[in-house]
Amino acid sequence: MHAVPARKAAPQVEPIERRQKQRLARGMAAIDARLDLHGKTQAQAHAELLRFLRRAQSDGARFVLVITGKGSLAGSDGSERGVLKRQVPLWLRQPELRGYVSAIEQAHVVHGGEGALYVRLRRQRGAD
């Protein structure tokens, strides 16, 4: 009887190193692509985020900026606000996206501060 090889767990998502974050904030390191999720529903945002990360990684991007918006308190219609600001960092840490994402960090104020995230992408493994 042959043992089934255990599937490797997706690597953990780390914070971006302080020096690298400084380089991004000062414009000394390139942000290769940007995604703005303002005004999207959670379903739309999740699907768009996944497409964006796949495309950016296949294009060889190293750092991307994901803009969620800062949100606000509950809307006048009683709807919850700031959902993407809370959800996107959680999504980026899920096993489904860890193959693309190696590190995330809140962006510097010049790039959106609390309403944006720097995302370091993993290098693509071999051609599909």
The answer to whether position 49 is within a domain reads yes
Number of domains in the chain: 1
pLDDT band at 128 (very low <50, low <70, confident <90, very high): very low
Phi first, then psi, for residue 26 (nearest 5°) are -85, 0
Domain encompassing residue 108 = 30-71+79-121
User: Does residue 10 belong to any structural domain of this protein?
Assistant: no
> Can you tell me the distance from the alpha carbon of 16 to that of 21, in angstroms, rounded to the nearest whole number?
6
Mean per-residue pLDDT, 123-128: 65
- Contact between 65 and 35 (Cβ < 8 Å): yes
115 located within any domain: yes
Report pLDDT for 11: 74
The domain that holds 97 is classified in CATH as 3.30.1370.110
Domain assignment present for 127: no
Rounded-to-integer distance, Cα 98 and Cα 73, Å:
30
- State how far the Cα of 28 lies from the Cα of 23, in Å rounded to an integer: 5
Question: Which tens digit of pLDDT belongs to each residue from 49-102?
Answer: 999 999 999 999 999 999 999 876 555 555 566 899 999 999 999 998 989 999
How far is the CA of 59 from the CAs of 5, 33, 65, 101, in angstroms? 31, 10, 15, 14
